[in-house]
Amino acid sequence: MTKELRLRMPDIQLETARLILRPPRAQDFDPWAELATDAETMRHLGGVQPRPVAWRSFLFVVGSWQIQGFSAFSAIEKETGRWVGRVGPLMPEGWPGTEIGWTFARHAWGKGYATEGAAAATEWAWNHLGWTEIIHCIDAGNTASQKVAKRLGSRILRQAQMPPPYENTQVDIWGQTRAEWFARRGIGA
């Protein structure tokens, strides 16, 4: 592809106390692919992805930014500048709702980054996408993500079958409304 044909990523950057959230860049792919090959990290996300499959999922996120104007942010640790995961709004074709999802590299687990990043991405989705509900598609065995959802104020709303190619996977749909989110913070929606 010639330089003239390359699309520019939106110039969006969110900052939390410890993270920078921004659309993915080319240099994020190597740690993204490394995360995708970690069996423990991918256990509740459809399993390990070889590098070529991880490339396609990476490009899905980049393409979603271009077409939809949103997708997962790359989460960058402020202190080190290291890519530590992905977090943010998702709504692929056939998805069970407007999701704020997260996946962090194992070296970043236990630091509260998922909650911190998901809270910032949720605020951004309310304010910039106009969403009225957020969900989190969580495998019933994924207790770590359930704890993050609870810290965000979400609860189980329903169960759902995931769309292809994960149509044999049933998940718990955790979530909350915009009004519930802002009410907990003492702010009118």
Q: Residue 74 belongs to a domain with what CATH number?
A: 3.40.630.30
Q: What is the CA 179 to chain-centroid distance, rounded? A: 21
Per-residue confidence (pLDDT) for residue 80, from 0 to 100: 97
The reported pTM is 0.89
Which residues 6+ apart lie within 8 Å of 112 measured at CB? none
> Quick check: is 74 in a domain?
yes
Which residues 6+ apart lie within 8 Å of 43 measured at CB? 142
> Quick check: is 59 in a domain?
yes
> Quick check: is 172 in a domain?
no
Per-residue confidence (pLDDT) for residue 46, from 0 to 100: 65
> Quick check: is 88 in a domain?
yes
> Quick check: is 117 in a domain?
yes
> Quick check: is 173 in a domain?
no
Count structural domains, the chain: 1
Per-residue confidence (pLDDT) for residue 1, from 0 to 100: 41
Domain of residue 51, residue span: 12-133
Neighbours of 64 (CB within 10 A): 19
**What's the CA gap between 27 and 128, in Å, rounded?**
26
Q: Under DSSP, is residue 22 helix (H, G, I), strand (E, B) or coil? A: strand
> Quick check: is 176 in a domain?
no
> Quick check: is 171 in a domain?
no
Residue 36 · residue 60 · CB < 8 Å: no
- Point out the residues of the chain with pLDDT beneath 50: 1-2, 5
Enter the tokens of residue 32: 């993204």
**What's the CA gap between 69 and 8, in Å, rounded?**
12
Per-residue confidence (pLDDT) for residue 71, from 0 to 100: 96
